Structure 1
Amino acid sequence: MQPIRIWYQSYVDYENGAGYWDALRAHLAAIVDPGTTVEVHGITPHDSYAHALVEHRCAREVICNAVRAEREGYDAFVIGHFQDAGLYEARSVVDIPVVALGEASMLHACTLSQRSGVVTINRRYIPWFHHQIGKYGLEKRVTGVHAMQFEPGEILKAYDSREGFERVVDLFAEQARPLVADGVEVLIPGGGIPMLLFSRIRRHVVDGAPVINGIPIVVKAAENAVKLRRLTGLEASRAGEFVKPPAEIVEEYMTHPKGL
């Protein structure tokens, strides 16, 4: 098998999340197969306010970056952001595999339990997650969404402080326990930032329910998708949801200011 090259799309840039980026790069290097390289690319976020409008703006950059990744010879494109903004659109415009942190984490949780739940970092994300769960057809499998209360930039500070790390762990458990009491069997941190933070905890469990780290899950899904494509030619369906637009439409989107 030839080496695999993966574009990992963070929704944070190095300037705003140096501690997170450094930890992420080290984590990725430790989990990939021999011969796989993962290159992290960022987006300058609005780190002081979590909102669907910010997700929409980031989604446009993600779609354009997926096209760039394919043109630059990457074998797969990973959306390393749990909200998966831009996933379906990116998947519809490139032939390389596009896998995403939220979708991969939720689908993998289905192999571990009948019912899983999400604990996100901010209450304003809860409606987004419910829409996301519905889009993936997982309403009966991902049955609850709770939230801590951090803005994106605020939770990044936990990478630089033991006290901050322990506070996030405690607040996560506080929101997770009612989910477990209600029948949730696997807990999913609703974001790459808390997932990577919790990777410091070996066999992280809250009241018997494992807390999954979706970063290895999505990277391994990307590696597997590349291998299957090389072995069998398997790619995303073009029969409906992910039908490809004509090349000129893609070019217009890539070159038109603000994509309007």
Structure 2
Amino acid sequence: MKIFYQSYVDHENGATYWEHLRENLDAAKSPGTTVEIHGITPFDSYAHPLVEFRCAREMIANAIKAEREGYDAVLVGHFQDAGLYEARSVVDIPVISLGEATMLWCCQMGQRLGIVTINRRFIPWFHQQIGKYGLRERVTGVHAMHFEPGQILGAYGDAAKAQEVKALFDAQAEPLVAQGIDVVIPGGGIPMVLFSQFHNHTVGDAPVINGIPIALKMAEMAVSLKQLNGQSVSRTGDFVKAPPEVIEEFLTHPKGL
């Protein structure tokens, strides 16, 4: 099984993050599974929808290329899931995303979920995302720290900074837990991997979830089920397959004017 992992951080700016991400993936993957990490340049360094859409376009193009190069699945390692539905509408291999996979799995761990993201500008995006997945009654709170995506990268390899970020995260999670949240989700792959060093991380009695192994296991399961029953996503509604000429136009059209 060969999985294309799409990070929204490039190796040049996030080498230490990639190292820890690789450790997470290697620990979670099944025997015989290969996971290859690919980044986006320039990386997702500023919390804004415009950046999300720019990265989404590259991710969608990479999903098409991954299918043509023989990958069995694409794993979008970016919690905001920008471009997810569009990617599923252009390829026949599974496209699994960190945000959706984590939220759906956590629905089995508790009744009410909360997210702590890294920047307030992501909060509206998360509420739209939660609504798109039909989880407004399950994901009932979103709080934020005050970082740009790239700033947390400085905590990798620095134990003191990692503890500082954890303390800021926990401070935002505590009122959510006090309001009845059962499970706390870090809103991004960067904080998830950073917090993975804290074994059994909890706030109160609410577990803090690392979604990286969850998303990888879901990707492996999606590939196995497709091999077993031949089924992929529905081709009605959101995931109607784009015709070949439209896909080619998307790949070849200039990115800018």
Deviation at 1:70, TM superposition (A): 0.1
For residue 145 of structure 1, give the secondary structure of its aligned residue in structure 2: strand
- Asked whether the 8 Å contact 1:81–1:101 carries over to 2, the reply is yes
How far apart in 1 are the matches of 2:174 and 2:126? Answer: 19
Match of 1:225 in 2: 222
How far apart in 1 are the matches of 2:30 and 2:44? Answer: 32
Q: Which amino acid aligns with 1:68?
A: K
Pairwise mapping of residues 116-195 of structure 1 onto structure 2 (< 5 A)?
116-195=113-192
Deviation at 1:31, TM superposition (A): 1.0
How far apart in 1 are the matches of 2:58 and 2:44? Answer: 16
Deviation at 1:234, TM superposition (A): 1.7
- Asked whether the 8 Å contact 1:10–1:43 carries over to 2, the reply is yes
Correspondent of 2:103 among 106, 110, 119? 106
Deviation at 1:49, TM superposition (A): 2.3
How far apart in 2 are the matches of 1:47 and 1:54? Answer: 6
How far apart in 1 are the matches of 2:43 and 2:217? Answer: 29
| 2:192 aligned with 1:204 | no
Q: Structure 2: which 5+ runs fail to align?
A: none
Write out per-residue CA displacement over residues 65-109 of structure 1, whole angstroms, 9 at most, x where no aligned residue.
000000000000000000000100001100000000000000011
After superposition, the Cα gap between the structure-2 partners of 1:45 and 1:182, relative to the gap in structure 1 and judged at 3 Å, is farther
TM-score after normalising by structure 2: 0.98
Q: Structure 1: which 5+ runs fail to align?
A: none
- Asked whether the 8 Å contact 2:8–2:43 carries over to 1, the reply is no
How far apart in 2 are the matches of 1:35 and 1:59? Answer: 29
How far apart in 1 are the matches of 2:182 and 2:159? Answer: 28
Percent identical across equivalent pairs?
Answer: 67
- Asked whether the 8 Å contact 1:16–1:44 carries over to 2, the reply is no
- Asked whether the 8 Å contact 1:189–1:195 carries over to 2, the reply is yes
For residue 93 of structure 1, give the secondary structure of its aligned residue in structure 2: coil
How far apart in 2 are the matches of 1:230 and 1:259? Answer: 39
Q: Which amino acid aligns with 2:90?
A: V
- Asked whether the 8 Å contact 1:238–1:244 carries over to 2, the reply is yes
After superposition, the Cα gap between the structure-2 partners of 1:91 and 1:224, relative to the gap in structure 1 and judged at 3 Å, is same
Write out per-residue CA displacement over residues 159-199 of structure 1, whole angstroms, 9 at most, x where no aligned residue.
03111100111000000000001110000000000000111
Structure 1 runs of 4+ with >6 Å offset: none
After superposition, the Cα gap between the structure-2 partners of 1:190 and 1:45, relative to the gap in structure 1 and judged at 3 Å, is farther
Match of 1:29 in 2: 26
For residue 11 of structure 1, give the secondary structure of its aligned residue in structure 2: coil
TM-score after normalising by structure 1: 0.97
| 2:41 aligned with 1:44 | yes
Q: Which amino acid aligns with 1:217?
A: I
Correspondent of 2:9 among 8, 12, 16? 12
How far apart in 1 are the matches of 2:125 and 2:46? Answer: 15
Number of residue equivalences: 257
For residue 192 of structure 2, give the secondary structure of its aligned residue in structure 1: helix
